[in-house]
Amino acid sequence: MTADHPRARSSRRFSVGSMIAYLVWLVGQVISGSLTVARRSVRPGRFAEPSIVAFPLRCETDLEVTWMASSITITPGTLVVGTAHGSEAEPVTVFVHSVFDADRDSVREGLRDMEDRLLRMTRGPRWQEREEREGSRDHEGRETG
For residue range 18-36, list pLDDT tens digits in order: 889 999 999 999 999 999 9
- Any domain includes 1: no
> What is the predicted pLDDT for the residue at 145?
44
Entry pTM = 0.77
In this predicted structure, the answer to whether residue 129 has a pLDDT above a threshold of 50 is yes
- Any domain includes 143: no
- Any domain includes 34: yes
Better-scored residue on pLDDT, 126 or 3: 126
Instruction: For residue 110, name the pLDDT band (cuts at 50, 70, 90).
Output: very high
- Any domain includes 141: no
Domain range holding 109? 6-133
Q: Spell out the long-range contacts of 32-38 with Cβ–Cβ below 8 A and sequence spacing 24 or more.
A: 33/75, 33/76, 33/77, 33/78, 34/76, 36/76, 36/77, 36/100, 37/76, 37/77, 37/99
Instruction: For residue 111, name the pLDDT band (cuts at 50, 70, 90).
Output: very high
- Any domain includes 138: no
- Report the number of distinct structural domains present in the chain: 1
For residue range 63-102, list pLDDT tens digits in order: 999 999 999 999 999 999 999 988 888 999 999 999 988 8
- Any domain includes 142: no
- Any domain includes 111: yes
Cα gap 80→131, rounded to integer Å: 26
